[in-house]
Structure 1
């Protein structure tokens, strides 16, 4: 059936998944860039290739390519994510390359930290897949 083909095509590796709650909290473009950064983190973590246990390499050009957002806009959105405290960005290594680290601020942004009245709650554990065969983010080349 044609609809099945369309659904399979749209749900394939070429999709960008964005949390609606996050998009409402920080903006759609910021959420798209953040989601791609999280996807890259998961990829590098699954390969055991995080720097200092938390940091991973990515260029603005690659983020632009993976999200279809113009590189100049990606730089602005990354700067906004840094300003919001959702990610950290540093030059690391020789030669120096841009590395990212995801912070815990996302829980605060999404209202998941415990409140005074005991509602909501911090997740007990964040599970990152250790599958060495994890799929690479769309368009990512090692």
Structure 2
């Protein structure tokens, strides 16, 4: 893959673009900083690919502190994705992107994960000088990807749960004409408990529908609130038969006949 083509894949002139494969391989923050440096290199790099970028300018663009930048830059350097040199008068921090290494470590990382080559296998492929430390770095990179996947999955689950909080409360407000907030600690406490029990957004909506059908415009309307609906009786409400309001005590068969015939 040519450097120019790879640059266009990783960057955008209007927005920061985080490539999914990079995020999976090195994490969100490292991917964000790398993308910023790639965009800078596209306009600032000399013929050898070197360009300088100050810490304050990076912090302004990314929000990452100098300490955080240094930590990420050290990680990218160890992976071989980024080269750094301090030179010039006054001294400036210069970078160079190793696009070949990005392609090797990021875009082909799945192959690396599926097959951890032994030293003998690598030597057969022509890598005579392969050392054990390189294999260790590869394994570390694979472990980092697994950790990042877990991090991403946790974030996705958190985002899905947040959607349940907001959508369940919005649906209750719509059906019952209330104005509860999904950010209320008391409300989120009950919703979180039900989510931990394994209930879904559709279950919340079902309970709301059933109890609104039963309690709206009755003395029980005041209980159409998150604390009651999403509390310990949630499972009972979810499984109850739909009870329509204004249906009182069932009438006898004889009374039913009288109503039917208008008697």
Shorter chain as denominator, the TM-score bin is: 0.5 to 0.7
* 2:51 maps to 1:56: yes
Report the counterpart of residue 94 of structure 1 in structure 2: 89
* 2:36 maps to 1:40: no
SS of aligned partner of 1:107? helix
SS of aligned partner of 1:16? coil
Distance 1:16 1:78 in 2: 18
Report the counterpart of residue 30 of structure 1 in structure 2: 30
Q: What TM-score do the two structures reach when normalised by structure 2? A: 0.35
SS of aligned partner of 2:107? coil
Out of 100, 103, 107, the residue aligned to residue 103 of structure 2 is 107
Moved beyond 6 Å, runs of 4+: none
The Cα offsets for residues 50-71 of structure 1, whole Å up to 9 and x where unpaired, read as 1x62100111221111112222
Report the counterpart of residue 80 of structure 2 in structure 1: 85
Q: Which has the larger radius of gyration?
A: 2
Larger % of helix: which? Answer: 2
Distance 2:30 2:104 in 1: 16
* 2:63 maps to 1:68: yes
Gaps of 5+ in 2: 1-11, 112-263
Q: How many residues align?
A: 98
- Inter-CA distance 54–70: structure 2 relative to 1 (3 Å threshold): same
Distance 1:99 1:39 in 2: 14
Give me the CA root mean square deviation: 2.2
Distance 2:104 2:95 in 1: 19
Report the counterpart of residue 16 of structure 2 in structure 1: 16
- Inter-CA distance 12–22: structure 2 relative to 1 (3 Å threshold): closer
Deviation at 1:36, TM superposition (A): 0.4
